[in-house]
Amino acid sequence: MSRAAKEISPIEIYKYLPKTNCGACGEKTCMAFATKLANREARLEECPELLKPEYKEAYQALWEILKPPVREVVIGSGEKAVKVGGKYVMYRHELTYHNPTLIAIDVEDTLEPEAIRKRVERVQATSYEYIGRLLRLDGIAVRCASGDAERFKEAVRTVAEATDMPLILCCLDPDVLEHALVTVYERKPLLYAATRENWREMAELATGYKCPLAVFAPGDIALLRSLVKTLLAYGVEDLVLDPGTFPGEGFSDTLNNFTMIRRAACKQGDELLGFPLLGVPAVAWLEEAPRELKAWREACMAAMLLARFADLLIMHSLDGWVHLPIMIWRENIYTDPRKPVSVESGLRTFGEPDEMAPVLVTTNYALTYFTVENDVKAAKLDCYLLVVDTEGLSVQSAVAGRKLTAELIADAIRESGIEERVKHRYVIIPGMAARLSGELEELSGWRVLVGPMDSSGIPKFLAEKWPPEEEA
């Protein structure tokens, strides 16, 4: 039985290590390595001694201790392969969540090839720059709505030619599925799905073509466990669980089922439920409602499923206003809570600022800083940016929580040496920190200009307000 990361102590791990302090793993001592292992910051294989035959038993014992309660499954092949699951904990603060949720967009095989290509192209082109990273969608789920083997095969082929993203093949008829699978099995698509009716044929496909397999038991966790047990006995190991995503009133059961499954796996060591969970917000589109409302509800369900343990999502909407918050929320919840998301405080220089260059103030929260940096760079401004240590809080939160105060800014001005670099004494503070301006003028002796509420307004603000009139 696998255990929650929190329950594993470095001492317990240390017992099995060679205790030679050889340093080959990069740590000075075996105890330090044990601590890294317990924190999931190192892998067993980094200790060469452990891989020797005399440590076979120790290695196996450690492997048992350290394996995640939710198995890691790979979908896709080559560079675009994506790992899902591999979760060590139920709650993010217990360690961190590994392997960000895979978000796939569906494609229906009844669409014309040209429409399919367009849809795939749209999914591939979706990207948003956020804190210096590109957020993207990850995969395509091809659904057999036609019931026609040839048609499904053509659709799968069209998708496969249009993208090298991981694929999910959705078809509950094993014969129809295999007809399409033969053309793309080397891409290791996720096969969706084994059910009470078709599990044996699906198991044959999964073992024969060596592809991961989803298990679909809507609203029935006992059936889900039965199917998993049977499939494991059949020799299928890479499983993904779909306990059913219900739209409307049934969504409560969905969240409860996801929660119970993840708790059983992480807190009770239930190995039949220790697999990645697949959520299908696309079912929002089964309900009668205007188009926008269906997309809206799909976004709501996706956000909640991301919070409640979904390791994969299949979505239907192609709307950017649906994708954007979901991609960002996924990025957020998968950040490591052990690492502060902050940048170094201090004075930054952009372009070639002279002694009359503007001096801007921001916080050291990474997102805030990178947003300001992007805007300043994009506008090719020559300026100074004073990054105040707000313990990694954004301007709004820092002002409310008194982590960005007039005193802190005044200190930062003094310590930064900016007084020697510029001739003027004007500092521009974020619009959301406007209320600090009076006190800041008193404490620092600098005149305060209240900048825009959002850093995207900086170029316009400077064009209109800089240099300040008295100096002009």
Partner 1 sequence: MGEERKREGETAESFLAQFLPELVELLSKFESIELEDVELYAERLALEFLPVAPAVAPAPAPPKPLELLMEGFEEPVMTYPGRVLEVKLGATRSEGGSRGRVVVIGGETCPPFYLFESPPPHRPVITMDVFDTKVPLPKAYKAHIKDVMHDPAEWAKRHVEKFGADMVTVHLISTDPLGEDRSPREAAKTIEEVLQAVDVPIVVGGAGDPHKDAEVFKYIAEMAAGERLMFSSVTLDMAEAGTLEPAAKAIAEGGHVVLAFTPIDLNLARELNRKLYEFVPRDSIVMDLTTAALGYGIEYSYTVMERARLAALMGDKELQHPMSAAPSNSWAAREAWMKEEELGPEWGPRELRGPLWETLTGLILLLAGVDLFMVGHPATARTLKEFIDVLMSRGKAKGADIENWVSASLG
Residues 57-96 that bind partner 1 (CB under 8 A): 59-60, 63-64, 67, 72-74, 77-78, 81, 91-93
Q: What is the C-alpha separation between 41 and 39, in angstroms, rounded?
A: 5
Task: Identify which of residues 300 and 418 has a Cβ nearer to partner 1 in the complex.
Answer: 300
Q: Binding partner 1 by CB under 8 A: which of 246, 350, 461, 466?
A: 246
The Cα-based distances of 301 to 85, 289, 304 in angstroms read 19, 15, 5
Cis preceding-peptide flag for 162 (omega within 30 of 0): no
Tokens 């080959």: give the residue. Answer: 24
According to CB under 8 A, which residues from 271 to 300 bind partner 1? 271-272, 280, 282-283, 285-286, 291-292, 294, 296, 299-300
Consecutive H or E run containing 377? helix 366-378
DSSP string, 133-166: EEEE--EEEEE--S--HHHHHHHHHHHHHH--S-
Q: What is the C-alpha separation between 363 and 403, in angstroms, rounded?
A: 9
Q: Binding partner 1 by CB under 8 A: which of 4, 22, 32, 172?
A: 172
Q: Binding partner 1 by CB under 8 A: which of 36, 98, 119, 143?
A: 143
According to CB under 8 A, which residues from 1 to 40 bind partner 1? none
Q: How far is the CB of 403 from partner 1 (least distance, A)?
A: 6
Site string for partner 1, 410-439 (x = CB under 8 A): ----------------------x--x-xx-
Q: Binding partner 1 by CB under 8 A: which of 400, 414, 415, 445?
A: 400
Tokens of 221: 């966790």
Residue 144 binds partner 1 (CB under 8 A) = yes
- The CA-CA-CA angle for residues 295, 298, 302, to 5°, reads 140
Could you tell me how many residues of this chain bind partner 1 (CB under 8 A)?
A: 132
Q: Binding partner 1 by CB under 8 A: which of 21, 39, 124, 335?
A: 335
Q: How far is the CB of 25 from partner 1 (least distance, A)?
A: 14
The piece of 21-29, 159-167, 245-253, 415-423 that touches partner 1 (CB under 8 A) is 245-253
DSSP string, 256-267: HHHHHHHHHHHH
Q: Nearest Cα to 154, choosing from 171, 132, 179?
A: 179
Task: Identify which of residues 11 and 91 has a Cβ nearer to partner 1 in the complex.
Answer: 91
According to CB under 8 A, which residues from 300 to 329 bind partner 1? 300, 303-304, 307-308, 316, 319-322, 324-325, 328-329
Q: How far is the CB of 12 from partner 1 (least distance, A)?
A: 18
Q: What is the C-alpha separation between 263 and 89, in angstroms, rounded?
A: 9
Residue 164 binds partner 1 (CB under 8 A) = no
Q: How far is the CB of 395 from partner 1 (least distance, A)?
A: 8
Q: Nearest Cα to 161, choosing from 209, 104, 106, 120?
A: 120
Q: Binding partner 1 by CB under 8 A: which of 371, 422, 444, 449?
A: 371
Is residue 337 within 8 Å of 406, Cβ to Cβ? no
Q: How far is the CB of 225 from partner 1 (least distance, A)?
A: 4
3-class DSSP assignment, residue 180: helix
Is residue 254 within 8 Å of 280, Cβ to Cβ? no
Q: How far is the CB of 246 from partner 1 (least distance, A)?
A: 4
Is residue 385 within 8 Å of 421, Cβ to Cβ? no
Q: What is the C-alpha separation between 458 and 452, in angstroms, rounded?
A: 6
Q: How far is the CB of 423 from partner 1 (least distance, A)?
A: 29
3-class DSSP assignment, residue 297: helix
Is residue 300 within 8 Å of 107, Cβ to Cβ? no
Residue 49 binds partner 1 (CB under 8 A) = no
Tokens of 270: 């239930």
Is residue 137 within 8 Å of 323, Cβ to Cβ? yes
Task: Identify which of residues 29 and 146 has a Cβ nearer to partner 1 in the complex.
Answer: 146
According to CB under 8 A, which residues from 184 to 223 bind partner 1? 188, 192-193, 196, 199, 203, 210, 212, 218-222
**Beta-carbon-side half-sphere exposure of residue 201 (alpha carbons within 13 Å):** 14
According to CB under 8 A, which residues from 443 to 462 bind partner 1? 453-454, 456
Q: Binding partner 1 by CB under 8 A: which of 61, 234, 346, 411?
A: 234
Q: How far is the CB of 346 from partner 1 (least distance, A)?
A: 21
Q: How far is the CB of 379 from partner 1 (least distance, A)?
A: 13
Q: How far is the CB of 22 from partner 1 (least distance, A)?
A: 18
